Amino acid sequence: MLGAAKGTGGARPGEPERRVPVVDSPGAWTVRAEAYGALLERSSAGVLFTDPSGAILSANPAACRMLGRDEAELRRVGRVGLIDTGDDRWIDAIAVRNAEGFFHGELRARRADGSTFPVELSSAIVGTGRAIVLVRDVSHYVDAVERAGEAQRAAETVMDILESISDAYVAVDRHWALTYLNRRAEHLLRLDGSQVIGRDLWEVFPSVRETIFEERYRTLMRTGAPVEFEGYYEGTGLRFEVRAFPLSGQGMGVYFRDISDRHAAQAERERLLVSERAARATAEAAQRELTVQATHDEVTGLLNRWGLLREVADIQTRRPGSPLALLFIDLDQFKLVNDTLGHVVGDEVLAAVGRRLNDLLPEGGLLARFGGDEFVVVVPDCSAECGEGLARRVVTTGTDHITTRSTQLSITASVGIARAAHGGDIDTLLRNADAALHRAKDAGRDGYAWFDQALHNRTARRLDIQHHLRRALENQDELGLHFQPAFDLRTWHVAHVEALARWRHPAWGGVPPLDFIPVAEESGLILSVGEHIIAAATRQAARWAHVPGVRVWVNVSPRQLALPGLARLLEHHLSAAGVPAERFGIEVTESTADDGRLVANLRAVRDLGVAVAIDDFGTGFSSLSRLARTPVDVVKIDRSFVAASGTRTGDTLLAGIVSLAHALGAQVIAEGIETPAQLDAVTTAGANAATGFLLARPRSASTMAWRSEHTQP
């Protein structure tokens, strides 16, 4: 590459002239020439020979591969065709080599396709003005240095976190050598970490041999599956709660905390409870019979009026303000049964109705015979839908036959429903439900009515939405997608696209997602809606195959994620659309990290090649150890943290979340960018991408913009 200058003779100023050693004989010259030729052919370094003008006389295969040209083309273009003209160091390099006969340094060369790359170049003048040039591609060394710097910064962040957490932490390599202890671990284990790093775990802690610690640790190292357990460590006399998980370097990380006080307190409580139970057993046995007689109905065995009021009062004492739903149930025309069949048959009917109602009772609900042919159901923490659904089932079962010793008959019922959203006086609820019961009877019996008509209307609206949503799933033209792009903060091109469900009803128009998604969740329709979104999103991802590097994301509800077949469902739709798994991703909530079953399903999705994102990061809660073992590729920072930027606390939290996400090996997308100041804040914090109305609003696939609508500096 560096052409030789005439007359230099290959010697530095003030030094003897460099000369090629004299070959003693033609045979020796032939052997050496063959050896040098073989060396040049097989060398991994590029070797060029040039003349005084800089023309290339020959080049070995390594130089041809490195520069993207064959030998003939190299001879044609010469030195001018190979150097990066934007690198001013070439001028000095040629001058130094011509003046001193030798040059060694780093420059930038240019390939045939115009791309440039760093090279380590050595050039020496040999013979009469000719030069030999050795070239090595050092781009991989530059990349390695940059990656090493990034890895060092990430490692320092992780170390800071590990030193600040309340849990003790110990790490070992795959040979059981201790590699790290944080300060809390040193304190609990009563040792100096600097004295034990590098030593064998079993040598430092011999008393863990043949204990649950050794059993679980060896199981983890053998299977790679995380373990959680409690154990007593004789070396310190403490009981620990332990969570251990495999490290990427085939070692093991162990979080543990001292639970000795908690364990001792629990043992003492259990001892006291055993003593107390023994002391109370006799008294309770006698009291139980009296209580049953005083609080239960003799005919049905259910609570009576006094027993119900007593139980409701107890619930309101334990959970003040808890919402209550109350159903007042009256058997239609029951007087005819007593009048025509007698009170004995009437009692049999009441007992049968009581059993039937008890079978319909939700967990935690109360059922009482209130007197005559009236029954009352009270359900704590019951939504309007829950209360109405129970009333509907009560009415429906009225068509079922009741068999007595002498006959078979059907008894319908009328139901009045009242609900107090924040608790309330039971007498008021009874009065309201009784009024609703009369309205139901006035409407023709064999039905139910709400006391709160406005609440009833809202419930009816939700049921209407559920009905029409089910029809929309059959006629899928109503359900479509809009897309929210997220922009790479370096290139300002779209890197991620989130698919958002949209429902356009033929009569209602657009139905807001906040109206129909909760209904879909509660009714179970979310599974069908979710699969429809996945199918539509994969098809759209296929249409965007020409857009380089973009990934399409869909939100997955906990109910969808709980299904063991989610990975197979994704694989089916990706295969049907012809979309590579790496072009698709799912978003889940942060609370997913606390459910081991959901985390296992996430791993199955990730093994498929589909990316995993934690949505609204920072609004949930997950321990560091659980979050660390959750498979995650992208962390989406909740808009509340973005909105808080611009203050010292807000910017610190933002930077901390970005650092933590990067330490976990995840990219970061900041959501809800609405102002240039917020955009500057997330960029400064180190986020990889951003999304929000400032950059682009959700839109249909046909109008997708692949660059930000916001003018960038």
pLDDT tens-digit map of 656-707: 989 988 988 999 999 999 999 999 999 999 999 999 999 999 999 998 877 7
What does the pLDDT read at residue 695? 92
CB 424 within 8 A of CB 313: no
Sign of CA dihedral 145, 150, 153, 157: negative
> Which residue, 119, 59, 136, 126, is CA-closest to 83?
119
The rounded distance, in Å, linking the Cα atoms of 601 and 610 is 12
CB 704 within 8 A of CB 481: no
The rounded distance, in Å, linking the Cα atoms of 710 and 271 is 68
For residue 631, the SS3 value is: coil
Q: Could you tell me the CA-to-CA distances from 318 to 326, 380, 419, 423 in Å, in that order?
A: 18, 12, 19, 12
Phi/psi at 481 (5° precision): -130, 140
Query: Facing residues of 470 across strands?
Result: none
The rounded distance, in Å, linking the Cα atoms of 637 and 629 is 19
Q: Please report where in the chains the tokens 């916001």 appear, as a residue.
A: 710
Looking at per-residue confidence, does 291 or 33 come out higher?
291
In b/e form, how buried is each residue of 167-204, taking b as 16+ CB within 10 angstroms? bbbbbbbeebbbebbbebbbebbebeeeebeeeebeeb
What does the pLDDT read at residue 3? 60
Q: What is the crossing angle of helices 513-523 and 453-474, to 10°?
A: 80
Residue 316: pLDDT band with limits 50, 70, 90: confident
- pLDDT digit string, tens, across residues 420-459: 877 778 888 888 898 888 888 878 888 898 886 654 566 5
- CA count, 13 A, side-chain hemisphere, 197: 9
What does the pLDDT read at residue 241? 94
Supply 331's token pair. 């058997």
The residue-averaged pLDDT of 597-614 equals: 91
Residue 583: pLDDT above 50?
yes
The residue-averaged pLDDT of 594-620 equals: 84
The rounded distance, in Å, linking the Cα atoms of 76 and 474 is 69
Residue 713: pLDDT above 80?
no
What does the pLDDT read at residue 336? 85
* Percent share of the chain, pLDDT over 70: 88
What does the pLDDT read at residue 618? 67
Q: Could you tell me the CA-to-CA distances from 598 to 562, 624, 627 in Å, in that order?
A: 6, 17, 13
- pLDDT digit string, tens, across residues 613-636: 998 776 655 555 666 778 899 999
CA 100 to chain centre: 62
The rounded distance, in Å, linking the Cα atoms of 71 and 46 is 12
DSSP summary character for residue 135: E
> Which residue, 561, 559, 487, is CA-closest to 524?
559
* Percent share of the chain, pLDDT over 90: 42
Residue 23: pLDDT above 50?
no
- For strand 116-126 and strand 102-110, is the pairing parallel, antiparallel, or unpaired? antiparallel
- CA count, 13 A, side-chain hemisphere, 463: 12
Supply 262's token pair. 């908690």
Residue 59: pLDDT above 60?
yes
The residue-averaged pLDDT of 134-163 equals: 69
Residue 400: pLDDT band with limits 50, 70, 90: confident
- CA count, 13 A, side-chain hemisphere, 171: 16
Interacting residues of 201 by C-beta distance below 8 A, sequence separation 6+: 172, 176, 177, 178, 208, 217
- For 677, counting Cβ atoms within 10 Å of its Cβ (0-12 exposed, 13-18 middle, 19+ buried), the class is exposed
Interacting residues of 475 by C-beta distance below 8 A, sequence separation 6+: none
CB 155 within 8 A of CB 163: no
Residue 402: pLDDT above 60?
yes
Residue 399: pLDDT above 80?
no
The residue-averaged pLDDT of 553-563 equals: 89
> Which residue, 533, 592, 515, 581, is CA-closest to 559?
592
Supply 688's token pair. 């990889």
What does the pLDDT read at residue 16? 44
CA 612 to chain centre: 6
What does the pLDDT read at residue 605? 93
Supply 345's token pair. 């048959």
Residue 612: pLDDT above 90?
yes
Q: Please report where in the chains the tokens 């059907």 appear, as a residue.
A: 410
- pLDDT digit string, tens, across residues 509-552: 999 998 899 889 888 899 999 999 999 999 999 999 999 989 99
What does the pLDDT read at residue 673? 94
Supply 463's token pair. 């049921």
Q: What angle (nearest 5°) sits at the alpha carbon of residue 123, between those of residues 117 and 124?
A: 175
The rounded distance, in Å, linking the Cα atoms of 428 and 418 is 9
**pLDDT averaged over every residue in the chain:** 85
Interacting residues of 224 by C-beta distance below 8 A, sequence separation 6+: 246
- For 507, counting Cβ atoms within 10 Å of its Cβ (0-12 exposed, 13-18 middle, 19+ buried), the class is exposed
What does the pLDDT read at residue 561? 87
State the alpha helices, DSSP H only, in 483-634: 513-523, 526-543, 558-562, 566-577, 596-607, 624-628
What does the pLDDT read at residue 570? 95
Residue 254: pLDDT above 90?
yes
The residue-averaged pLDDT of 74-93 equals: 89
Residue 6: pLDDT band with limits 50, 70, 90: very low
How many Cβ atoms from other residues are within 10 Å of residue 322's Cβ?
Answer: 15
The rounded distance, in Å, linking the Cα atoms of 340 and 675 is 79
Residue 24: pLDDT band with limits 50, 70, 90: very low
> Which residue, 227, 266, 273, 267, is CA-closest to 246?
227
